[in-house]
């Protein structure tokens, strides 16, 4: 121990151990040890000097957004002042149109129910002659389709009452009515042809139905059935079979008509044997 040195002064300082250990590690890596000043120095935050500039940029952006929003609001108000009344008018017209259409539908439904009730009242009359007169009265007072149905029903009631000539006259009048639906006019003509054919012999009746079995005729399948029966009655079995097979091959054939034609086909087969 050196003279005059106290034990306290000879005690190693903590930094000496750190320096020695640190020096050993630095020596191994070949790098110089950092100074004590650099070790204890604190990093000063950067950018603090730009705080004022950042606040200025943020204020400028906010001002631009406010101006842009005001411009958009002014443009919207200007467009609304120009086109707003037209938009409101279109909406009002659309709502009014929907309301009128609904009201008309309700009126049509009410009129249809009233017409149907009048036709049902006539159909409930047991006597055929009185029923025909009731249908004639309904045809005069009802409109459009309901009047057409009343006239067809009148003709059917006249046939039931045995007044076939009067029924044909009603049907001819409906067929020549240009205001009636074409389908109902074709139906009236076909029914009138069937009624007239009853007074003809089977061969002439088959010839009378030739116009109704052509392609495109609305009641072609019923006409083929009627002509097949007429040909069968006249002894023209090949012609009857041809009509039945043509009708059975039609994709528009109804189940009830198909059943009748199948039975007629079986009858024609038995007749051949």
pLDDT digits (tens, 9 = 90+) for 54-112: 555 555 566 566 656 666 656 655 655 555 555 544 554 455 455 545 554 655 677 77
For residue 219, the 8-state DSSP code is T
Within a 13 Å sphere around the CA of 4, how many CA atoms are in the beta-carbon half? 0
Q: Which helix (H) or strand (E) holds 81?
A: helix 51-123
Q: Which whole number is the average pLDDT over 36-60?
A: 49
CA distances from residue 243 to 60, 152, 259 in whole angstroms, order as listed: 93, 27, 15
Using left for φ > 0, alpha for ψ between -120 and 50, and beta otherwise, residue 153 falls in alpha
Q: At what angle do helices 144-160 and 164-175 cross, to 10 degrees?
A: 160
What average pLDDT does the segment 159-176 reach?
Answer: 93
C-alpha distance from residue 273 to each of 60, 228, 270 (Å) = 108, 18, 5
Write the pLDDT tens digit of every residue in 108-166: 677 778 888 888 898 999 999 999 999 999 999 888 788 888 999 999 999 999 999 99
What pLDDT shows up at residue 98? 57
Considering the entire predicted model, what is its pTM?
Answer: 0.58
Tell me the pLDDT band of 43, cut-offs 50, 70 and 90: very low
**Residue 213: its pLDDT value, please?**
93
What rounded mean pLDDT belongs to the chain?
Answer: 75
- How big is the CA angle at 25 (ends 9 and 16), to the nearest 5 degrees? 10
Question: Could you tell me which residues come within 8 angstroms of residue 141 by beta carbon, excluding any fewer than 6 positions away?
Answer: 118
Mean pLDDT on 177-205 = 90
């Amino acid at each position: 121990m050196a003279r005059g040195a106290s034990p306290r002064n000879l005690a190693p300082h903590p930094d000496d151990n750190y320096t020695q250990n640190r020096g050993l590690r630095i020596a191994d890596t070949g790098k110089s040890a950092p100074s004590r000043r650099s070790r204890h120095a604190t990093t000063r935050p950067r950018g603090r000097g730009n705080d004022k500039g950042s606040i200025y940029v943020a204020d400028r952006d906010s001002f631009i957004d406010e101006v842009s929003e005001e411009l958009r609001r002014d443009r919207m108000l200007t467009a609304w002042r120009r086109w707003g009344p037209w938009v409101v008018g279109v909406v009002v017209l659309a709502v009014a149109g929907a309301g009128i259409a609904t009201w008309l539908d309700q009126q049509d439904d009410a009129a249809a129910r009233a017409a149907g009730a009048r036709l049902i009242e006539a159909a409930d009359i047991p006597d055929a002659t009185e029923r025909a007169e009731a249908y004639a009265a309904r045809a005069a007072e009802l409109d459009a389709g309901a009047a057409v149905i009343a006239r067809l029903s009148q003709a059917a009631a006249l046939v039931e009452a045995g007044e076939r000539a009067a029924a044909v006259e009603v049907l001819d009048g409906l067929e020549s009515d240009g205001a009636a639906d074409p389908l109902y006019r074709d139906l009236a003509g076909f029914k009138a042809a069937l009624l007239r054919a009853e007074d003809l012999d089977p061969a002439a009746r088959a010839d009378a139905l030739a116009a109704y079995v052509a392609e495109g005729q609305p009641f072609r399948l019923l006409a083929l059935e009627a002509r097949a029966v007429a040909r069968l009655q006249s002894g023209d079995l090949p012609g009857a079979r041809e009509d039945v097979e043509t009708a059975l091959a039609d994709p528009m054939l109804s189940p009830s008509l198909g059943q009748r034609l199948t039975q007629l086909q079986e009858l024609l087969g038995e007749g051949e044997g």
